[in-house]
Chains A and B, each alone.
Chain A
């Protein structure tokens, strides 16, 4: 235990100033292997260290402590330790060893899943992600794990808070895919279909050299959400999607594409029949709930079309046009849509008539002006960011070397790019 005690003393002593911490970091790296060897006897060591002051040291010890197989009882004890550490640790110190931190958090996630209580991991991982981020635009591997736990624990609102941030910097593409996929699922759960569509769109059109399963699953959900929200599916991916995606994505999602085609014919009976015959496939992908919502959205779309042509319409006529079974059902649908704010109408039960009204929004209120103003500010900020990025790339060494190489072929009287940029 002697080396342990010495290590503990060093951690306690060298955790105050940045210079000391740097030295401590080097010492810890050297001691890493010996720590791992002693993993079983490390719990008292953890007791001696304070997570808030000695974060780096605590982290290394914790990492060694949790490495290796852990049983359910051990998980019971280690989860609170890790949770406590995450809540209390010092952000700057842990940023010195990000991979270890990520590793520890992943183990927390595994243990929480093993204990079948994903909700215990939601709070800690949120804090962890926020602490690890260099800025709110930065995506860490923890984001995707956090969102996965949110989906499993059904804490959609917590997940939404982290989705509100825009992401611009990504370390690993895989993190982004998972982040967007789980994020999309959370938004679908909260019925924010536009945001879900954006997130899934990002996955599907991300640059990738080979097709991966995440993109395929994301595309399936993308098709369904696109049908619910827009009522149609654009048949081809935009040009900036990778060529692999454009070619092969459709082959893996055949039943969904056919569903979209059947939706396009606007015949509800056909759509329902198709869903019936393929229920198993949709269920295997866990998409049956979404598919049912697609069918529902078709009724809604038909009723919305009626608002364009009629001022008043009897419930019986609505039932006939939209192919519902009875005026009662039509009334329920219309009522639901009014409550959701999808149409503006009043139902006159005495005559069995529905009166469609215009959108009362007049765009004259203060809120609307504030809304427009904030949108303008936001877009101006984005433009500035775009120009900044453009400038940054023009000064980038790799870019210049590539461009410099090509330019030399064509322009003789341009300035020669200095040779050190040619690789």
Chain B
């Protein structure tokens, strides 16, 4: 890679500069614009679109980045979207949140609500009757379709628990592997919406074990679902692997759950936080499939490349810019801080790895922080045993330190000997006491 060759040249300048040098040509870093809500929402469809918009509305009011206009914009779009569907519960929620701020056309439309509820009642009765008819006739396929329809109905009306139960009931009536896959996909969708990711994992496994080969789009969907489940469970490494294995045919076929931009972002960040250097290179940078995803989010691509080529300052700058928008993402929100910390720590560790001694002021420059702050961070990492080094606080230099194996072995041996000695002696003493006690008791008995 060209980046490597460049760093062999005047090492001190290059390494110290790390992307802060004006003379190197670099692509202008896109500053974090406020999230373009329309563009963002257009990536999704169905219930997740509504949930994401509501999430943005809730969090843009208390985020430092957020502004009231984004809040209202999100609520407006949510309202429009809900109107297209049949979920009256969400409608009431949104109307309450809007609180009349958007004018008369965006108030709680009770007439619409009642009409939808009435229609829902009728439909439910109809479905019920049909299902009973099928059940008496014991036609497996029709019963399955009946339960499926029920599931879809409940899902559309926001009764996720009932939807889940209905979908699970179809399991007994599945005959072909296609049916099984269909059921699994429906259950996965509902589980993700409910936030119960343990079910997601088990049903993904079930679907993958279906006897017939799955088509690539389904495989991609399952990988994404598995990745999301791992992300929620904080298993970042597994999540990264799953996201990276997603093939590009996913496209926008899974817009009810996830957009390809998300696959790129989640996968990229998790990989950066947990993979070591070789894995990063082989699985992310050289991964042709994943490159298609990365093209959609050029900032993530840039920041991964910067990290790999040790341009930490620009990498961290990209991360900082992305942070505001990532905090508005429904799945990533809770994990942003952890992932960012992990990435920063990895950057610090990677920086110090190749050197015997490091000048702390140059390092502080590279990471765009002060020497005092840097010293504190390094101290924490050394105490945690992530960096094998010691700080010369007087001259502000970090010296690598390699544990002396021989001495350590001697110490351990002597210590083990002492412990053995101690333990056996107390054991012999205790057994003597027990024998005495037992003798006394025996004597008393006799």
Q: Which residues of A contact B (CB under 8 A)?
A: 166-171, 173, 176, 198, 201-202, 205-207, 209, 240, 305, 308-314, 317, 351, 353, 356, 358-359, 361-363, 368, 371-372, 375-376, 378-379, 382-383, 385-386, 389, 393, 398
Judge if B438 is at the interface, Cβ distance under 8 Å. yes
- Indicate whether A202 sits within 8 Å of B417 (C-beta atoms), given known contacts A311-B391, A362-B407: no
Q: How far is the CA of A164 from the CA of B417 in the complex (A)?
A: 18
Q: Is the CB of B407 within 8 A of A313?
A: no
- Indicate whether A363 sits within 8 Å of B438 (C-beta atoms), given known contacts A168-B432, A378-B421, A385-B428: no
Which of B379, B410, B428 is A363 in contact with, Cβ under 8 Å?
Answer: B410
Q: How far is the CA of A360 from the CA of B249 in the complex (A)?
A: 63
Q: How far is the CA of A243 from the CA of B415 in the complex (A)?
A: 29
Known: A312-B392, A372-B413. 5 other contacts (CB 8 A): A168-B428, A170-B432, A310-B390, A310-B392, A389-B431
Q: Is the CB of A314 within 8 A of B394?
A: yes
Q: Is the CB of A207 within 8 A of B392?
A: no
Q: How far is the CA of A372 from the CA of B415 in the complex (A)?
A: 11
Which of A209, A305, A358 is B383 in contact with, Cβ under 8 Å?
Answer: A305
Give the A-B contact count at a CB cut-off of 8 A. Answer: 98
Contact with A along B409-444 (1 / 0, CB 8 A): 010011001101110111111111111111100100
Q: Which residues of A are found within 8 Å of B379, using beta-carbon distances?
A: 309
Judge if B84 is at the interface, Cβ distance under 8 Å. no
Q: Is the CB of A382 within 8 A of B394?
A: no
- Indicate whether A310 sits within 8 Å of B391 (C-beta atoms), given known contacts A173-B436, A207-B433: yes
- Indicate whether A398 sits within 8 Å of B383 (C-beta atoms), given known contacts A168-B428, A317-B393, A385-B428: no
Q: Is the CB of A379 within 8 A of B394?
A: no
Q: Which residues of B are found within 8 Å of A375, using beta-carbon distances?
A: 414, 417-418, 421
Q: Is the CB of A389 within 8 A of B393?
A: no
Q: Is the CB of A359 within 8 A of B426?
A: no
Closest 8 CB pairs of A and B: A363-B410, A311-B392, A312-B394, A311-B390, A309-B382, A313-B393, A375-B417, A312-B392
Nearest CB to that of A390 among chain B residues? Answer: B431
Nearest CB to that of A310 among chain B residues? Answer: B391
Judge if B64 is at the interface, Cβ distance under 8 Å. no
Q: How far is the CA of A312 from the CA of B382 in the complex (A)?
A: 15
Nearest CB to that of B410 among chain A residues? Answer: A363
CB distance from B204 to the nearest CB of A (A): 41
Q: Which residues of B are found within 8 Å of A353, using beta-carbon distances?
A: 394
Q: How far is the CA of A202 from the CA of B432 in the complex (A)?
A: 12
CB distance from B445 to the nearest CB of A (A): 8
Q: Is the CB of B439 within 8 A of A398?
A: yes
Q: Is the CB of A205 within 8 A of B394?
A: no
Q: Is the CB of B424 within 8 A of A386?
A: yes
Q: Which residues of A are found within 8 Å of B418, using beta-carbon distances?
A: 375
- Indicate whether A386 sits within 8 Å of B428 (C-beta atoms), given known contacts A308-B383, A309-B382, A362-B407: yes
Contact with A along B157-173 (1 / 0, CB 8 A): 00000000000000000
Judge if B395 is at the interface, Cβ distance under 8 Å. yes
CB distance from B430 to the nearest CB of A (A): 6
Nearest CB to that of B413 among chain A residues? Answer: A372
